[in-house]
Structure 1
């Protein structure tokens, strides 16, 4: 609250030779994760959302947060409101109104509005975008935060696997529908627009091909294995190809959707740079946080938490990387990157693939066209 009272005295810190450290390039090790030791950015796993935005004003900015009614989405919304932004919470449930009430109780002068959005429904995404654009509001920052995790096999109303539909496809369409607004806002104000996709370290745990474009919606899928062996005089075959039928794997499907978040940011970043738009697009891994996102595997995650308790964050820490990438001037002009613990991190081989990123973009466009 003290920060809120003083926010009129805050000024948006403009990057200059002496105003920040060079862009973080170091890897955050396991020890840093446990101890919270800061990385090159000056922040680490123990940093909170308030700490990484300390002294930075978001006054005059409009920020849209999907899934902003609970967990790290709510904390992200609260901290942006604390810094003076006009926050739009987009959520599919009635908790959004309660979230607004909670923020207003803490920060009475905050500007927070709530709009309904179900990212698993492309119809709902279009209706939301129409409603938002009709409000004639600018849009400076888009936080693609909402998601589902480890849910049982289910197809969305558009006949798309639920985790892929909610975590990637809904955000893909939403971003495209709001992009003209963001471009106009950035051009008219001269303020860099920012898009932040919440991904996860889970993008490392996906299918061997990365994304199963041809089996996305299959409850049973063919999984191919290549077994290599030496040539011999008897058998000149260098390798054999086997396949087996596997069941839907909710963990790999989640990892697939989180890989898609990174590839989406990568390709969108490339396209925006190509056209000279003043908008950056980055991805973040928030860390391990016990939130409502884990409702489909609560018992499993609690068991894992007992063993890995040193790595878990609280909600203010979990929202830190999102708020850092969304608002901190250290990252002016930085785009197409992946961050964890408020520092740039490496990604998987699949996440680095320009070919896979372009393929995902075209595949997503085709899914949206076929759903009309």
Structure 2
């Protein structure tokens, strides 16, 4: 209950930021300390939180790699970002995240660029009530449409796009988190995962099942 009230009130935590903090706000103090030549891959960056994350990180001098199925939309986003930040370096690479073949091709293309991968932000996500399968016979979900009323409620009670991107940018650039790994953050502060997320036995099961599926799709014997 206390955490819910803190979230609704937007109270700042130990980091100095809270649920109402925006990506712009939490990166204002990082401009002079962000290392040069950082490279970030951001999936799902053509809209929403992903696009805001790309915009803010690019503004801070981070080289942005955008894997996108819709290159036209990605190009439009690149133009928008570079209009605000003319020096921004943005690389567009085509990929369909529902296709293992496409993902492998993307990885090959990225490696051929000879760039470091300093930041990986897996932002892409889709959801559907129906069970569907990709070309690789792996389950995937499709984007669902929401009624205007749901959009209205979300815009009033949930975070804005800029607020939603704040924690991502905080974790990516905050000097306080250099060398920190294996932690969970919410509203720019360290938080606790659910008991299921911390269940080591479930994590091992998921890892083994995922590895088995990948090896099967690649036509290789399980390790």
By the TM > 0.5 criterion, same fold? yes
Match of 2:10 in 1: 36
Q: Deviations over 1:79-133 (max 9, x none)?
A: 1111011111111113111111110111111111111121111111100000000
Where structure 1 has 5 or more consecutive residues not aligned to the other structure, the ranges are 1-26, 164-292
Match of 1:298 in 2: 146
C-alpha distance 41-150 of structure 1, shift in aligned 2 (>3 A): farther
Q: Deviations over 1:333-369 (max 9, x none)?
A: 3221222111122222210111111221111111111
**Are the equivalent residues in 2 in contact too, given 1:58–1:80 (CA < 8 A)?**
no
The one of 96, 101, 104 equivalent to 1:126 is: 104
Where structure 2 has 5 or more consecutive residues not aligned to the other structure, the ranges are 219-223
Give the RMSD, CA atoms, in angstroms: 2.0
C-alpha distance 339-102 of structure 1, shift in aligned 2 (>3 A): same
C-alpha distance 72-348 of structure 1, shift in aligned 2 (>3 A): same
The one of 20, 28, 31 equivalent to 1:46 is: 20
TM-score w.r.t. the length of structure 2 is 0.89
Inter-partner Cα distance in structure 1 for 2:2 and 2:68: 33
Aligned length: 214
Aligned residue for 1:59, secondary structure, equals: coil
Inter-partner Cα distance in structure 2 for 1:148 and 1:142: 18
Match of 2:95 in 1: 117
Q: Does 1:337 align with 2:183?
A: yes
Inter-partner Cα distance in structure 2 for 1:87 and 1:336: 24
Aligned residue for 1:80, secondary structure, equals: helix
Inter-partner Cα distance in structure 1 for 2:43 and 2:137: 22
Inter-partner Cα distance in structure 2 for 1:30 and 1:317: 16
Inter-partner Cα distance in structure 1 for 2:193 and 2:133: 28
Structure showing greater Rg? 1
